[in-house]
Amino acid sequence: MQNRIRNLREDHDLTQQQVADALGITQRKYSYLETGTQQWTDEFLVRLSRFYDVSIDYLLLQTDCPKRYK
């Protein structure tokens, strides 16, 4: 899961700081989440899915289709 989240960030040419700001957390906390040092909470997965406009299933590697469900 960490690779997909990091790849999404890099594909959008964003820094960890930019994503952390969008999620309302510190860069350090985001780094811990992205590297798997800390576990993602439901709240942050929802925020990240909205930020990138992808489904949570895509973030969790349950599908290769990034499209969000209606």
* pLDDT-derived band at 14, boundaries 50, 70, 90: very high
- Residue 17, Cα to own-chain centre: how many angstroms? 13
Q: Which residues, at least 6 apart from 23, have a Cβ–Cβ distance to it below 8 Å?
A: 30, 44, 47, 48, 51
Q: What band does 58 get if pLDDT is binned at 50, 70 and 90?
A: very high
- Residue 70 scores a pLDDT above 80: no
> What band does 34 get if pLDDT is binned at 50, 70 and 90?
very high
H helices within 1-70, ranges in order? Answer: 2-11, 16-23, 27-35, 42-52, 56-59
The token pair at 63 is: 């599908």
What structural domains does the chain harbor?
2-59 (1.10.260.40)
In angstroms, the CA 50 to CA 24 distance is 13
68 pLDDT more than 90: no
Report the chain's mean pLDDT, rounded to a whole number: 95
